[in-house]
Chains A and B, each alone.
Chain A
Amino acid sequence: MSDGKSIMVDTSRCTACRGCQVACKQWHGHPGTKTKQTGTYQNPPDFSADTWKLVRFSEGKASNGKPYWYFFSDMCRHCLSPGCMEGNKKDEIVQDKQTGAVIYTAATKNLDYKKVHGGCPYDVPRQDTKTKLIKKCNMCIDRLRANMIPACALSCPTGSVQFGERGEILKKVEARVAELKKDFPKAKALNADDVRVIFIVTDEPEKYHKYAEA
């Protein structure tokens, strides 16, 4: 196996347009779920069996007294050694040989959801309460097989979500973090050595999302 594929999610380029969130649903044929306005731009409120890509919004007051507003286009990290696979009985969860994508098969309905979910430090897997299938982002494995890039990366207008060979993405991540550090000393890549979907942040990860970093 080569090094497989990777995705860079550079939050410093994200405008929270949510094109990725909608493109994900469109490609996978997931419905828009019924939501409520609860006083935030973030909707749906969380991942679900029908929501695999979710832009999380978080805001506060920065040290200079001005507001900050962080956007975190959350998705499965496609770990190199996926914790969720420890819930496997047999091959219900597999790692694609070519790309490294972590794929939940139809057999996940036989797994203990708590164990699968508990193995994920990023709070990603969700269970379909009716079918008992456990679901999450599959890196658009069907698109990859057809030589297309993942729907989220294709829809991104600013280059915040970029897809490519892992080696190339790692180089891009390294260069971008170095660039960002000039203005944002706290800039860093999250768990870059352990995951295929690498987030870049410019402030403390927990300000973006409780489970941003493992």
Chain B
Amino acid sequence: MTNHWIDIKNSDCVLIMGSNAAENHPISFKWVLRAKDKGAKIISVDPRFTRTSARADYYAPLRSGTDIAFLGGMINYILTQEKYFKDYVYNYTNAAFLVDDRFGFADGLFSGYNPQTKIYDKASWTFKKDAQGVILKDPTLQDSRTVFQLLKKHYSRYTLEQVSSITGTPVEDLKAVYDMYAATGRPDKAGTILYALGWTQHTVGSQNIRTMAMIQLLLGNIGVAGGGVNALRGEPNVQGSTDQAILYHILPGYLAAPWAKAQGLKNYLEQITPKTKEPQAANWPQNLPKYAVSLLKAWFGDSATAANDFGYNYLPKLDDGQNTSILNTFDAMYEGKLKGYICLGQNPACSLPNANKVRASLGKLDWLVHANIFDNETASFWHGPGVDPKKIKTEVFLLPAAASMEKGGSMTNSGRWVHWKYVAAQPPGDAISVGDMVYRLMAKIKDLYAKEGGNAAEPIKALKWDYADAKGAFDPLAVAKVMNGYFLEDVTIGGKSYKKGDNVPGFALLQDDGKTSSGNWLHCGMFTADGKNLSARRGKSDPTGLGLYPEWAWCWPVNRRIIYNRASVDVNGQPYNPARPLLKWTGGKWVGDVPDGPWPPMADKEKGKLPFIMKPAGVSFLFGPALAEGPFPEHYEPLESPLAANPMSGQRINPAVKVFKGEADRFASADERFPLVCSTYTCTEHWCTGGGTRWMSWLTEAMPHVYVEMSQELAALKGIKNGDKVRVSSTRGGLEAVAMVTHRLRPFKVQGKEVHQVGMTFNYGWRFPNDCGDSANLLTPTVGDANTMTPEYKAFMVNVAKA
């Protein structure tokens, strides 16, 4: 989240799209309803009328996988109806930048596409510059090469009628939602978006979110109380695990994972560190070398020296273009290219797409180590349905893990608040925390390497591994302090002296010369210099009255509760909305939230800095080169859709997406055998694959068995009655489910034809209870977003028949 949970109450319009907040983040509705109490409008856009829709002021249906069309129409509406926040768009976005003349867009493709590699050359996705390298701008926004004019042109194609014929959303619903939301494009109004996996789990997931980010920029809703782009993270610590680089392409603190061509630290740092000539840009990422070197010092300690590039060469490197996402990992496993797999706290046999392929892949391993709080379909894959245990050679080790309440440590919520938590109960039997497992495993490996040597011994020997407490057990506090970082020598910075062994009290003090360590620069400042843990705070003061609670826990970065907050003020530092001031420049200083940098307001042409400090040009990007499939989001159909062609262009699916071509990966689009759009989701009562919740009798009592929701109209066509047993199938697999025939789903009118959609939870599996049904991921396709490889669980094609 750019903002945080409590801040939802400050909003004037809450758009809930790509999320079913009431069901999947029940506590969010404490704040959503407080906003509603104060007159905010709540909008729910979802293929299915959900428990969220039931509490919304307005509900609009849309066909799964058409969010960019829906939102593209909103951009068109905002621009043509002039609902955008002019001052903000001009000052704080790149609307006025002139785009390179080579940039173009035709028939669904941007300039630079290579159809063989499916990769764009982004050379033309850039800006015109003067001789000094400063970007050329047209303050009138009239030049046809301005971002603003190109944006207008691109989205002029998303007319109400066109959007409606793609999304299946009635025109009157589109108009109503656009009108309600666009009303927040005024200085005194704020609109927020709550999204979750309903947006990420598409082949165009990243672009779904980017489209909304652009809307928020046009309406001036970023950096303000009650605004922002807010991802509701699906688990109490999923934000924390992302920050600590659970993904394959990053190191902790979102530093790029080293790749083969980035040989040597200098080369790596040069390539990850952006440069700018923009006079008022802070370009905060220019500090990345300090964070990278401090990270290496945290990992390799005294073995990291200037002479050995601080141990940079100890790090494994990705091959150029290598993608080690879980889809590719399991594809390699299926091909027999992996010998062993360590699976911690997950249930891929039910959670990954194309579960039949995943389950077969596990049988090709020599060994599988699985840690969890209960047995599940992954650990037990060798005796699953249709599997002959005698034919499975994989040796499985199931390690009993401590549950979250049985572990101390930090937990980071969606709003980036890091809470220190304590052990509520000791884990049963031999169960230990996953942290302890990893700690002991690496300690043992280091021990063996010290005694026996082995391949690539140097990095393993150099690794600093001192995270045990006095009793020899894993100590989360020791890890948290290393993540924060230490001064490794006595230093004086800006007239202030710090002693060797002090914690570094903020990332502005980190150095690139080896004098500081920090395992994650974003966490730097969680401890004071003398070691006080700010995440353990529980102060309830609320000086701004906006619910920032600056003394409750600690939030990254530097306890800033709403990021980009200097975009909430005008160039003179005065709040755009005086009724909800988040920041104000008064008496030569900022008052309110922790500002995004100490500099004076923009009107000070010498010292003032632009508010989007993480963007090299200091402004936010309405046009930007970051994503794989283009600088402006464009509608493409899901890999499997009911349409043979994309109504917007000749490019049916996301041109940058990887399509798996192995024998186990079949796809069926616009195929009469599978005419129904299907989406998967989770219900309030179960947690993800149900690996923990299916063992709770109160929860299985409430939601006992896998079900498939369908409209009255579809049920009539298929001769299915509510409660009937049905078989749901895709070209990859199928399962039995109970039909839930409901008014809450309705057929869509798409391209003049009736399109039906069904939906299922993926909360079930064969292991327990033994009569609850199996995983909906037996149906889903192995395909991911072109940037993140997040699987397309939300839109694919099936059929349903009475069993």
Contacts and interface: CB of A to CB of B under 8 A. Distances in A.
Interface of A: 13, 15-19, 21-22, 25-26, 31-41, 43-44, 59-61, 66-71, 157-159
15 contacts: A13-B55, A15-B55, A17-B684, A21-B702, A25-B698, A36-B704, A38-B722, A38-B738, A40-B722, A43-B702, A43-B703, A44-B701, A61-B743, A67-B53, A69-B53
Query: Which of A21, A31, A36, A158 has the largest number of chain B CB atoms within 10 A?
Result: A158
Contacts of A21: 698, 702
Contacts of A13: 33, 55
A44 B33 CA distance: 28
B22 A67 contact: no
A180 to B, nearest CB: 11
B743 A22 contact: no
B54 A39 contact: no
4 closest residue pairs by CB, A with B: A32-B697, A32-B701, A37-B705, A39-B723
Nearest to B744: A67
A13 B30 CA distance: 9
Nearest to A24: B698
A15 B738 contact: no
A160 to B, nearest CB: 9
Given A66-B59, A69-B51, A157-B30, 16 more contacts: A13-B55, A17-B22, A17-B51, A17-B684, A18-B684, A25-B698, A38-B722, A39-B722, A39-B738, A39-B739, A59-B743, A61-B743, A67-B49, A68-B743, A71-B54, A157-B27
Given A22-B699, A43-B703, A15 B29 contact: yes
Contact of B54 (A35, A40, A68): A68
Given A43-B704, A69-B51, A69-B54, A26 B698 contact: yes
Contacts of A39: 707, 722-724, 738-741
Interface string B733-755: 00000111111101000000000
Given A31-B697, A43-B702, A69-B53, A158 B707 contact: no
Given A17-B22, A43-B704, A157-B27, A38 B723 contact: yes
B351 to A, nearest CB: 21
A137 B699 CA distance: 20
A25 B704 CA distance: 16
Contacts of B744: 59, 67, 69
A26 B702 CA distance: 14
B696 interface: yes
Contacts of B739: 39
A70 B54 CA distance: 7
Contacts of A40: 722, 740
Interface in B40-79: 49, 51-55, 59
B551 interface: no
Nearest to A13: B33
A41 B701 CA distance: 11
Contacts of B700: 32, 35
A38 B724 CA distance: 8
Contacts of A69: 49, 51, 53-54, 744
Interface of A is mostly: loop
Nearest to B36: A13
Nearest to A51: B701
Nearest to A179: B37
Contact of A32 (B52, B59, B696, B722): B696
A35 B697 CA distance: 10
B23 interface: yes
Nearest to B738: A37
B598 interface: no
Interface string B25-40: 0110110010000000
Contacts of A26: 698
Contacts of A38: 722-723, 738
Given A67-B743, A69-B744, A37 B707 contact: yes
Interface string B681-709: 00111000000000011111111111100
A209 to B, nearest CB: 15
B49 A159 contact: no
Contact of A17 (B26, B696, B703, B707): B26
Most chain A C-beta atoms within 10 Å of own C-beta, residue among B697, B702, B738, B746: B702
Contacts, number: 108
A42 to B, nearest CB: 9
A157 B738 contact: no
A64 to B, nearest CB: 10
A99 B219 CA distance: 52
Contacts of B704: 34-37, 43
A41 B707 CA distance: 10
Contact of A43 (B26, B27, B701, B706): B701
A204 B51 CA distance: 19
A157 B23 CA distance: 12
A70 B33 CA distance: 17
A33 B699 CA distance: 10
B448 to A, nearest CB: 47
A32 B706 CA distance: 18
B701 A15 contact: no
B51 A15 contact: yes
Contacts of A34: 701, 704
Nearest to A12: B55
A22 B702 CA distance: 9
B350 to A, nearest CB: 18
Given A39-B723, A61-B743, A69-B53, A157 B29 contact: yes
Given A39-B722, A39-B739, A59-B743, A19 B698 contact: no
Nearest to B715: A39
Contacts of A35: 700-702, 704
A70 B26 CA distance: 17
Nearest to A25: B698
Contacts of A60: 743
A68 B742 CA distance: 11
A60 B743 CA distance: 6
Given A33-B701, A37-B704, A159 B33 contact: yes
Contacts of A71: 51, 54
Nearest to B720: A39
A59 B27 contact: no
A35 B772 CA distance: 11
A15 B740 contact: no
Nearest to B173: A66
Contacts of A157: 26-27, 29-30
Contacts of A22: 698-699, 702
A101 B705 CA distance: 36
A61 B59 CA distance: 13
Contact of A18 (B49, B685, B723, B741): B685
Contact of A158 (B30, B703, B738, B740): B30
A204 to B, nearest CB: 16
Contacts of A16: 51, 54, 684
Contacts of B27: 157
Given A39-B740, A59-B742, A15 B54 contact: yes
B613 to A, nearest CB: 35
A27 B740 CA distance: 31
B701 A158 contact: no
Nearest to A69: B54
A71 to B, nearest CB: 7
A36 B705 CA distance: 7
B699 to A, nearest CB: 7
B718 to A, nearest CB: 14
A31 B697 CA distance: 7
Nearest to B721: A39
A158 B54 contact: no
A59 to B, nearest CB: 5
A31 B699 CA distance: 11
Nearest to B722: A39
A38 B742 CA distance: 12
Contacts of A67: 49, 53, 59, 742-744, 746
Nearest to B27: A157
B57 to A, nearest CB: 8
